Chain A
Amino acid sequence: MEWSLLPVWGIDFFGSAAMILVSLLCVVEAYKNSQKNPDSPLAAYILWFSMALFAFSASRSIGHMIKYVLLYFGRADLWHRLSPVSGSINTIAFTGISSVTLFFHRMQKIMEKMEKDRIKIEKTTKELLKLNEDIEAVVSQRTKSELALRIAHRIRNPVMIIGGLIRQLMRKGHEDYENYQLHLEKILEQAKKLESLVSTFENLRASTQETFIDIDLNELAEEVIEVITPEADKKGIVLVFERSAKPLTFRGNPHLLKIALLHIIRNAIEACKHGDSIEITTGIEGGRLFLEVKDNGPGIPPEILKHILKAFYTTKEGKTGLGLPYVNQIIKEHRGELKVDSVQGAGTTVRIYLPTHGPELGPEVQ
């Protein structure tokens, strides 16, 4: 019985060609992926792996293909000289792919450990944040009660004296004119003490409000936009500012509010891609000032939108997800409100509302 080796040769020849092609495609895909994730060790590994695979396929397949061509054209002698070289390269490629793969085994362990550490750090930070909140609550509780005690203490004396003097007066009536006058003077003295106490409190209140000053929301927005424009330009995103014609003064902490605005706009920039635009609008609505950051980016899926104000909620790698909760906190400190609306695929609108302070309300109310 005699079988032609044609099928064997055919499969070997075309199989070899296909091996080269497919392994080359692997390298291309792995390269694209590693460009997309330049910091990922896994992407780097996959690229190495596919290059080793390509080296293996190419060395083996080219050897095989040359062999068939040479044998086909009756040059077995040439093939006998070439084959040790081709075979050696092939064997080296085998060991190469093995070393890359076995190295991966170690790398994976390291990455798993890194991931575990990351989760641990996240948990610890969360606990710290919670603890900090608790401490703050306790501290403010204590300050409040201390303050109340001090007030009570400083008010008690004058009030008791006044009370006693008046009671005496009421008992004796008007007969003893000299004493009557004296009593009144004493009462007045104590009343003055109370008055001065009240002004001390007013001062105290003013000093805690010192960080809150009169600012204009338009100016604030302008300053922030100036800072962030280069970041938007770099990504090819257009920033448009629709500035309200009216002055939008209010009392607030400009430093904190700038951080909040910066973060809201930065989130929009991070979400948008080249050619998208972000519109920033200021104005007055329903007796409150507002600032709107509207982008036509990818939007936020409803299931994410629900959690967006929770700490540590993020969809980005290497981010903390602390941004929006912090922004919300700042706005709340100003008795304002943060609203996030989003339509998936159409864009996101973030609005902050702030209570007004001053005459700018006038025209709107009329």
Chain B
Amino acid sequence: MKIKKFLIPEFVLIFLLLLTRTNAYALQSHIGIEGLYVHQGAHILFAVSMATFAWRVRGFVFLSPGVRKNLFVGAILLVLWNAWAFTGHIVELMIPRGHILYHPGTKIPSLSIHAWYDLLYYFFKMDHLWCLPAIIFIYLGIRDISKSAAEW
């Protein structure tokens, strides 16, 4: 009984987000501002759940300290990645179309840096610098779980 009561807020939140998923357009193309809201909401939810996970996993006695540390670091990096991507999506909106230049003869465009947000855009687009290490730490954690499983 107690458990059910606790689960409700989380699931209501998730359910609401799932309900609105039809509006979730891709951010990459800036289509539909509602889609962006939903996506940003999902980023916040993702960050909150990873923060919760990181907080909880530290005290998880069934896992060895090494596993706990790796999962913790991975989850924290994912929180940071969410914050990074969240900011990146906002910065993305600030860039005028004209700042991305396709020169004839080149297939990869360049960015004309006129303002601070152009610079931000350039750096915030490189979000894999956060999420790739994050998932590598998580991988290392999961890989070692079966070793510590003997103590379960």
Contacts and interface: CB of A to CB of B under 8 A. Distances in A.
Contacts of A53: 135, 138
Nearest to B135: A22
Given A26-B135, A94-B42, A80 B29 contact: yes
Tell me the dominant secondary structure on chain B's binding face: helix
A2 B111 contact: yes
B111 A3 contact: yes
Nearest to B125: A8
B33 interface: no
B50 to A, nearest CB: 7
Tell me the dominant secondary structure on chain A's binding face: helix
Given A5-B111, A317-B152, A11 B46 contact: no
A184 interface: no
Interface stretch (A12-20, A159-167, A241-249, A253-261): A12-20
A176 to B, nearest CB: 91
A79 interface: yes
B60 A108 contact: yes
A110 B18 contact: no
B28 A63 contact: yes
B90 interface: no
Nearest to A72: B107
Contact of A19 (B107, B128, B152): B128
Interface string B1-40: 0010011001100100110011011111101100100110
A101 B50 contact: yes
A92 interface: yes
A19 B132 CA distance: 6
Interface stretch (A82-90, A214-222, A331-339): A82-90
A84 B62 contact: no
A8 B122 contact: yes
16 contacts: A8-B125, A9-B108, A11-B129, A15-B132, A22-B132, A29-B145, A43-B145, A72-B107, A72-B108, A80-B29, A83-B28, A84-B26, A84-B35, A87-B29, A88-B35, A317-B152
3 shortest A-B CB distances, which residue pairs? A87-B26, A15-B128, A83-B26
